[in-house]
Amino acid sequence: MNDMQFSAVTRVNGPLLILAGAGSGKTTVLVNRIANLVKFGNGYHSSMVPEGITPEQIAAGEAFLNGEADFVPNGCFAVSPVHPWQILAITFTNKAAGELKERIAARLGEDANDLWAGTFHSVCGKILRRYGDRLGYTSHFTIYDTDDQRRLMKQIMKEIGEDEKILPHKSVLSAISRAKDQLITPQEYNASAADYRQKKDRAVVYGLSETPVGSRCDGF
Ligand SMILES: Nc1ncnc2c1ncn2[C@@H]1O[C@H](COP(=O)(O)OP(=O)(O)OP(=O)(O)O)[C@@H](O)[C@H]1O
Ligand SMILES: [Mg+2]
């Protein structure tokens, strides 16, 4: 690693923004920074000398920091190390997430399994599956992709006899999406529709789309 990379890796407290061009070593910094947090915490900037430290252990620590060794004995130089499960490493594409996870695993070994690493979507899905009960979801929810959403819209429109020409399903889907972004429930959406017919209709579809799968749209 070069000096800038090294200083980013060993900076532990406070926020840090790294801007660098393609292929210039950003992921290298991320991976080493995560490894440094887990293995050493704030050890690099601490002047604490652990009792009974051996020259071999010091050499192993230096080799790890220089990226020449993958592992050092756990806990040797650590000052307030971070638990792997306290780290969230998210990126956008499956490819980038796969590379990130692979490189973290190569660096951290088994500790890497406890890290929250993946795409925005997969990590959020995992959080919902694990803790969604606190929001009233079960852990058995299904995530609808674009096709599933379109099918659901068409089915609901048919059920309530709504004409696709008057209320295109795409416009309903984007209205629902906007409402959800603003945490507006179907009831609130309906209340805000006043006498606006099309909005009222969209509110009905929104409400039905929220009804649990098993009780109304079997076959999805
Ligand atoms: N300081 C360095 N000296 C030499 N090689 C380096 C250095 N930093 C990173 N590399 C190597 O350069 C290559 C690209 O590094 P890395 O994947 O970290 O870059 P990146 O900025 O994340 O790339 P991308 O934009 O494709 O995501 C890797 O093979 C890495 O091992
Ligand atoms: Mg990268």
Structure tokens at 216: 């109304």
Task: Give the nearest ligand 1 atom to 5 CA.
Answer: 1
Helix locations, the chain, DSSP H: 3-10, 26-40, 55-65, 94-108, 120-131, 146-159, 169-181, 186-191, 197-209, 213-216
DSSP H or E run through 118 = strand 116-119
> Are the beta carbons of 58 and 49 closer than 8 angstroms?
no
Nearest CA to ligand 1 atom 26: 23
Proportion of the chain above pLDDT 70, given as a percent: 93
> Are the beta carbons of 91 and 58 closer than 8 angstroms?
no
Rounded Cα gap, residues 209 and 212, in angstroms: 8
Rounded Cα gap, residues 157 and 170, in angstroms: 12
Q: What pLDDT sits at residue 217?
A: 43
Nearest CA to ligand 1 atom 24: 23
Between 1 and 85, whose confidence is greater? 85
Rounded Cα gap, residues 167 and 198, in angstroms: 7
Average pLDDT, the chain: 87
Domain positions in the chain are 1-82, 88-102+110-141, 146-216
Q: What pLDDT sits at residue 71?
A: 67
CATH of domain 146-216: 1.10.10
The Å distance, Cα 26 to ligand 1 centre, comes to 6
Nearest CA to ligand 1 atom 16: 25
Token pair 């890497």 is at which residue?
112
Q: What pLDDT sits at residue 73?
A: 64
- The model's pLDDT over 154-210, given as tens digits with 9 standing for 90+, comes to 999 999 898 888 889 999 999 999 999 999 999 999 999 888 888 888 998 999 988
Query: Closest Cα to residue 43, out of 26, 23, 62, 28?
Result: 62
The Å distance, Cα 26 to ligand 2 centre, comes to 5
DSSP letter for 86, please.
Answer: G
Q: Residue 12, CB half-sphere, CA atoms under 13 Å: how many? A: 18
Structure tokens at 165: 């020409």
